[in-house]
Structure formats: C-alpha cells, structure tokens
Amino acid sequence: MSQLLTAAEMRDVEAAAIATGEVTGAELMARAGAAVVAAIRAEWEGELPTQPRAVVLAGPGNNGGDGFAIARGLRDLGWSVRVLLAGQAGALPPDARAQHDRWAAGGAARGAVLPLTLETLRDEPAADIYVDALFGIGLGRPLGGDLARVVAHLAGADGTLGLYQPRMVAVDVPSGLDADSGRVPGDPAGAAAVRARLTVTFDSPKPGHYLGHGPDLCGRLVVADIGLAHARARQGAARGLAPARTRVVPPLGIADPRRSVWPDIAGLLTKRQGHKYQHGHAMVLTGGVGRGGAARMAAKAALRIGAGAVTLGCPPAAVLESASHVDALMLHRVPDAAALTEALSGGRITALCLGPGLGTGEREAALVGAALDWGGAVLLDADAITLMAGEATLAAKLHDRCLLTPHPGEFRRLFPDIAGRLDDPDPSLRYDEAADADAQARSRAAREDLAAQRGPMMSTLDAAREAAAHCGATVLLKGPATAIAAPSGAAVVHRAVYDRAAPWLATAGAGDVLAGLACGLLARGLAPPVAAELAAQIHVDAALSFGPGLTAEDLPRQVPQVLARYLAP
Ligand SMILES: NC(=O)C1=CN([C@@H]2O[C@H](COP(=O)(O)OP(=O)(O)OC[C@H]3O[C@@H](n4cnc5c(N)ncnc54)[C@H](O)[C@@H]3O)[C@@H](O)[C@H]2O)[C@@H](O)CC1
Ligand SMILES: [K+]
C-alpha cells in the first residue's frame, strides 16, 4: 500500500463507493468502528484489567459516529464504557446519529451519553482507554471555546499528559491535527491537539500522518482496510490519477525489507556488464581551497550508488587538495563557466551536481548559469540554490532535467512566497491561485490537480508541489518526512518517521551525501523524480543500518549493505 489520500480525496472515494451501491455510509462507519476496536485489542493486549473501562469522546460529525460504533463494540466485549458527546445528538449527521441511537438503545445504564465539557471530563473516573473521536478529516478551522479547553486538557495543558497519552487511541487523526498538512490550525507549535499512543486511520494514510506534527501526535499509526480499495482505484483512474497521485515511500505494511521498496528497484539499480561509462559519469563541482569536503562526500556517494565514473570539478587552486584525498575520483580543472561548458559539451558527463560547499560568488553564479544552459541532468543543492534565490535569471533557466534538494531554509530563500504561506498560522491563507499564474501557463492539468488535493491548510507537500510546478524542475524538500514533487504534480512523501525515524541523520554533511546519491542516480539515467525518491530511501536506509553515532562520512560506506539488501534474490 503506498497511496496517500487527502481529506478531499478520501471523501471522494467514500462517496464514489456509496454511489455505486456496493456499500452504505452506515456500513463503512460500522467497519471503521470494528477496525478501531480490533486495533485497540491488539495494541493493549495483556495490559488491561479483566473488565476494562473506556471513555469515548465523541464529536459533532462522523468521527463522533465512529466513536459510538467503537463504544458499542467495546461494550459488546464486556467493557464498561462511557460516552461524552460534544454537541447535541439531534445535530449529528445521519450515519453518526444512527450509531448514537444504537448505542443509546442500551438504556441509561448501558448506553449513557453525557455532554462533553471540561468539567464532565475532569469528573470522569480514570479510564483504561480514552477514545478520541472528536474530529477526523473534517476539522476545518482552529478549535475554540470549551472544546479547545477540552483538547488542551487532553493534550496535557493541566499536567495530565501522563494520564491521557498512554491510554489514548485517536480515530482517524488526533483531534486538532489537520489531516492534509500535519499542522495544527491556530497553533504552529502543535500543542493544541490530542496526543495519542495509537492512531487508526481508514483505507489510506493521509499526508498529515507523516508531515509536520503528525508523527509526534499520532503515536503508532495503523491503517485499517474498510473495503474501499476498489472504489479508490476506480476514483483514481477516473481522475487520471492512477496508479496514485501521491505515494508514501517505502510502501506500508510489508515486513520484508527487501520488498519494502517498489518492485522494480532491483531493476533500476542492478549493473549489467559493460564499460564503466555505460553506467554514467557524474561530475561534482567543488568549492575553493579548504572547501572541498562537502563535494568530495557527495562524489563518494555518487560513486557508491553506482555511477560508472565520478569526476570532481575543482577550481585550479583546489585541485591538489582534492587529489590528496580520493583515489577513485577523477579530477578536472574548472576555472570558470567557460571551462565547465567545455567539459560538459564533450558528451561524457551524464549528470552534474553543484552546490555543496560551492561558494556564492560571481564565478559560482556563472557556473550555475552554465550548468543550466547545458540542458543535461543537474542536481542543485545548497549554495547553488542560494545563488538562484539571489538571481532570478538563474532560476528562470531551470528545466525538467533538474533536481533541487533544498532544506527548509533554502526552500524559503528560493520560494519566499510559497514558504510565506506555508509559515502562516492562519488556515484561511491558502494556496494563492493568482500568485501561481506561471504554473497555470506551464501545466493546467498539474494545477487542477493541486486544486483537487488542497486542504484547509497548506502542507510541505503542497509547497513542494507548487514549487515544482512553478519552476518546472523536480523539488525534493528535506525534512523528517521528505516531500518530492515533479513538475507534473506527481509527488511522494518519503517517511523517515515512525518505525523509520533516524534522528541521527540530522548530522553535518548528510545533505551532501543525499545530493551525491541523487546525482549518481541521475548519472545512471534515472529521471529526476525517480532518482530523488530512491536517493531519499537509500539515504535513510543507510542511516538506519548504521544507527546512532552516525557521521555523514559513514553514510556512503553503508550503501553497499543497503544495496545488497535490495538486490538480494
Ligand atoms: N461515511 C463516511 O463518511 C465515513 C466517515 N468516517 C469518519 O468520519 C470522519 C469524517 O467525518 P466528518 O466529515 O463529519 O468530519 P468530522 O467528524 O471530522 O468533523 C466534522 C464536524 O466538526 C465540525 N467542525 C470542524 N471543525 C471544527 C472546529 N474547529 N470547531 C468546532 N467544530 C468543528 C464540523 O462543522 C462538523 O460538524 C472521518 O474522519 C472518519 O472518522 C468513517 O466512519 C468512514 C466512513
Ligand atoms: K479523532
């Protein structure tokens, strides 16, 4: 499973399934409820008393409806269950109302529903499990009033985190978290949302489970099948989005690490016999004297990932320095842009990497210009991005064989308008259509997709997509969950969170290695979005395989192990 659905897409899929008559909304809600009950039993197995007690917090929409279905499911298992409802039963949407009525039919003793207020919640005797069914994918704005206080209390504002978080299961998303962006409307710090030990979502994960505060708030993420796979595939195909517009990589739910990558990974990486230049020739530009380390690290990574040959392009004064460091790399003097153009015009170089440790002077700006004028595969990182941010005519040369790998700060420099909207805590400030007239000219289809995918808050994924559509190149926006977007609108979220969290990867030089891996793959002929996706994965797998204590220099050395795992028969 590898598809990510925004809230709007999830609604589409549900509506399409219901419209064909193959399932009803009520049935979907019953399946959702049953899936959460099963996930609770699995998660807390062996930890609960003989007759556990649950408190279900039900909200005013269908998430609340799931809550009533869960309450009934737990009661049927012999649990003692209390439901606290935010709002009036009469105002619930029909499916949720029906679940409420089935629950309440248990009578005052077995099916009691109390109004949810901070007071009623505080007065409740402690429970073994709390079910957060307040808001799911329908959260549309910042929480306010008493509900905001309730959520703040659940989130630990009163020193109560230790009481709730270890016992909290969130239905679909922790309430307060925006399912599309991983942001918390009205609270950039993310404190105004429930913190769960377990989150059970339905059919497909949502971007917000991986981006922003999502992983922190969700705890463990379970994706439950509620029988919508066919409707999802049909819906995707109908929109021309098949097989999947936004994927999460590696795909979920496959334990075998060799298969936790997409099926043709071995095909992409296996070297067939042939001359070294048949596997591509990458050139990595270095900075001046004493500044070559970053580029050398990138070059080693490019070599490890299987580029047939790698040449360091150095300013003349720095040739000697690099020569004393690395034997397997070739060296080439690149005094200026004209020399670079000449080197590239020979037809041997199949991909160029520039940025790590490059410098940001006039010579380097001219190098970026020459690299982009070449028209071949170019990876632009670090200083190259900073240079483009300062010089609009450089950025205007970007094309679809380019791959940009900014960290958030570099992204902000190069795309200040997009980043400005991304930073804004006000969810009413959405994707700005007028500002994107350029992208409109480039690709109407991509734009329409962007519109269809948009939620109430902009995400880093939206930002990468907008940036890619805007500049016409593939953009890899770094983060714990890396967002990679092609100009066509196709995108992936690389999940280095949950079981793939590698916090030790935040080490100096790790970004240079990522650039080198991606450049090596470009040199081997992979298209920029594929090279980016694969490089991000190998980068994280290398970090996971080394473990804590990692330095950037260790990363290229881990690559053979990682490849061996992928390529094992
Ligand atoms: N048939 C279906 O549609 C299914 C829905 N499912 C559940 O339904 C959920 C989506 O249901 P809904 O679309 O009703 O959305 P939610 O239940 O997430 O929330 C919508 C309700 O909350 C209110 N609301 C939104 N933001 C608010 C705020 N800041 N302050 C106060 N009130 C606010 C809305 O006005 C609306 O009443 C999913 O997350 C999932 O849990 C599942 O049962 C699967 C089937
Ligand atoms: K919830």
Same domain as 424, residue 511 = yes
Q: What is the CATH number of the domain that holds 114?
A: 3.40.50.10260
| C-alpha distances out from residue 513 to 272, 287, 485, 520, Å | 25, 16, 20, 10
428/408 Cα distance (integer angstroms): 22
Instruction: Please report whether residue 46 resides in a domain.
Output: yes
Distance in Å, CA 132 to ligand 2 centroid: 5
List Cβ neighbours of 47 (8 Å cut-off, separation of 6 or more): none
Q: Which of 214, 248, 282 is the last residue of a domain?
A: 248
Residue 266 lies in a domain: no
Q: 315 and 241: one domain?
A: no
Is there an atom of ligand 1 within 6 Å of 511 CB? no
Q: Is the pLDDT of residue 235 over 50?
A: yes
**How large is the average pLDDT for residues 176-201?**
94
Mean pLDDT of all residues in 182-210: 94
Peptide bond into 503 cis (omega under 30): no
Check whether 409 is labelled as a binding-site residue. no
Q: Any binding-site annotation on 136?
A: yes
Residue 35 in any domain: the answer is yes
Using CA atoms, how far apart are residues 403 and 407, in angstroms rounded to an integer?
13
Ligand 1 proximity of 150 Cβ (cutoff 6 Å): no
Nearest CA to ligand 1 atom 11: 62
Residues 314 and 399 in one domain: yes
Number of H helices, E strands in the chain: 26, 17
Instruction: Give domain status of residue 258, yes or no.
Output: no
422 and 530 in a single domain? The answer is yes
Distances (CA, A) of 23 to 68, 201, 423, 473, 532: 19, 19, 40, 42, 39
Indicate whether this complex's ipTM tops 0.95. Answer: yes
- Please compute the mean of the pLDDT values over residues 144-156 and round it to a whole number: 94
Pocket test for ligand 1, best of 12, 135, 171 (most atoms within 8 A of CB): 135
- Closest ligand, as measured to the CA of 30: 1
Q: Whose CA is nearest to atom 36 of ligand 1?
A: 61
**Average pLDDT, integer, range 482-504:** 92
Judged by its nearest atom, the ligand closest to the C-alpha of residue 198 is: 2
The answer to whether residues 307 and 411 belong to one domain is: yes
Residue nearest to atom 9 of ligand 1 (CA): 63
Q: What pLDDT score does 263 carry?
A: 44
The answer to whether residues 505 and 438 belong to one domain is yes
> Residue 357, annotated ligand binder?
yes
Same domain, 294 and 172: no
**482 beta partners:** 494
Identify whether residues 209 and 280 lie together within a single domain: no
What pLDDT score was predicted for residue 431?
43
Question: Residue 511 has which token pair?
Answer: 């970004």
Answer yes or no: is the C-beta of 32 below 6 A from any ligand 1 atom.
Answer: yes
**140 C-alpha vs ligand 1 centroid, how far in Å?**
9
Residue where a domain terminates, one of 232, 248, 264: 248
Give the residue from 248, 264, 288 where a domain finishes.
248
For residue 445, pLDDT over 70 is answered with no
State in Å: Cα 61 to ligand 1 middle: 4
Q: Say whether the peptide bond before residue 529 is cis (omega within 30 degrees of 0).
A: no
- The tokens describing 220, both together, are 């463990």
**In the predicted structure, residue 393 carries a pLDDT above the cut 50:** yes
Residue 266 labelled as part of a binding site: no
58 CA to centre of ligand 1 in angstroms: 10
Query: Is 139 marked as a binding-site residue?
Result: yes
Residues 65 and 208 in one domain: yes
Q: What is the pLDDT of residue 447?
A: 46
User: How confident is residue 270, by pLDDT bands cut at 50, 70 and 90?
Assistant: confident
Quickly list DSSP for 128-167: SEEEEES-STT--S---HHHHHHHHHHTTTTS-HHHHGGG
- Nearest ligand to the CA of 34 is 1
Give the number of residues written for the chain: 569
Atom of ligand 1 nearest to the CA of 66: 43
- Tell me which residue range forms the domain holding 449: 274-567
* Distance, CA of 502 to CA of 457 (rounded, Å): 27
Structural domain includes residue 260: no
| Contact present, 183 and 210 (Cβ < 8 Å) | no
Q: Is residue 268 part of a domain?
A: no
Residues 295 and 211 in one domain: no
Question: Is 347 inside a domain boundary?
Answer: yes
Within this chain, do residues 98 and 227 fall inside the same structural domain, yes or no?
yes
How many Cα atoms are found within 13 Å in the side-chain-facing hemisphere of 512? Answer: 27
Using 50, 70 and 90 to split pLDDT, how confident is the model at 427? low
Q: Do 472 and 431 lie in a common domain?
A: yes
On average, the pLDDT of the chain sits at: 89
Pocket of ligand 1, candidates 137, 169, 201, 203: which has the most ligand atoms within 8 Å of its Cβ, to mutate? 137
- Mean local confidence (pLDDT), 132-158: 93
Which residue's alpha carbon is at the smallest distance from atom 2 of ligand 1? 25
Number of domains the chain contains: 2
User: What is the rounded CA–CA span in Å between residue 207 and residue 247?
Assistant: 9
Domain assignment present for 255: no
Can you give the C-alpha Rg of the chain in angstroms? Answer: 26
Q: Assign residue 523 the CATH number of its domain.
A: 3.40.1190.20
Percent of the chain past pLDDT 70, that is, above it, reads 89
**What's the CA-to-centroid distance between 407 and ligand 1, angstroms?**
34
Judge whether 267 is annotated as a binding position. no
